[in-house]
Amino acid sequence: MKNKGLDLRVTIAGITLNNPITTASGTFSARESSAFYNINELGAMITKGVSTIPWPGNPTPRIAEVYGGMINSIGLQNPGIDVFIKEELPFLEQFDTALIVNVAGRTVEEYCEVVEKLNDTKADMLEINISCPNIKEGGISFGTDPKMAAEVTKQVKTRSQKPILMKLTPNVGDVAEIARAVESEGADGISLINTLLGMRIDVHKKTPVLFNRMGGLSGPAVKPVAVRMVYQVRRAVTIPIVGMGGIMSGEDAVEFIMAGADAVSVGTAALVDPAAPVRIKKELIEYMKKNNFKTMKDIRDSFQDR
């Protein structure tokens, strides 16, 4: 057996993944990705965000390249939870890998409505995107205020029969404070980071590149920030962490694991190389063999935090 002696399994909120490689919400389509690799090679697949009703997304242009990544203001375009359950879930459920559904909302009630509808599905876990704007609080992101983050966590936990990961925004002063707030209200795990707020200006047209002016920066440019935040959050909470932000290689994944992540998500890399998640998994295995590591714990414990 090629990987004999290696144990890639990780446990997140009571769910065992065969390996720590997952897909990042917003960049993954099982229908499209399955044309490039076997989805069953993933530890888990994390879906695009789904809301109570269809969201049309933002007007174009809504994607722009930048040095070391991209900026997007897609606007969480999705067909709504009812269509998702009827048309998308049956396709996702055929794969023998963990299924994590990303949930979006503009009010606490909207989050809870989606969560309740997912209770009777085969989803293994939910990822709650609290980077969404709270329309009852003037558009402030749920994830930028500890009290709002705690409240949405509390309400979702009372309605959900699935474990929940709270997906944190990096656009805060103290991400550890937000992490502690969601842990205190029962979050089963945390995923971070979401995109950093960025902007590009076309100096020839003298106008913003994106219709919405600002958007979320992702890709290799954000990795040092993401690693730093995973490191800080790991020292603030005891619940599992799924780390993400600019992971392009197996060694990038190792860096997040050493910082304290239990699993990692691959996002923008898959837009450049559709098979990036499985390539990164292979590179992670090669690194483990080269360094005589048998488990993810071996990698994490090797980090010399001076």
Q: Which residues are catalytic?
A: 132
* Inter-CA distances, 191 with 31, 97, 180, 204, 238, Å: 24, 18, 13, 39, 13
Smallest CA-to-CA distance from 244 within 15, 20, 18 is with: 20
* Main-chain dihedrals φ then ψ at residue 153, nearest 5 degrees: -65, -50
Question: For tokens 């190792």, what's the residue?
Answer: 254
Strands 263-266 and 21-23: parallel
* Main-chain dihedrals φ then ψ at residue 74, nearest 5 degrees: -60, -40
DSSP string, 22-60: EEPTTS--HHHHTTTS-GGGSSEEEPPPB-SS-B--PPS
List, in order, residues 6 or more apart from 136 with CB less than 8 Å away: 107
Question: For tokens 């994607």, what's the residue?
Answer: 63
**Cα separation, 156 vs 100, whole angstroms:** 15
List, in order, residues 6 or more apart from 162 with CB less than 8 Å away: 115, 118, 119, 123, 124, 125, 126
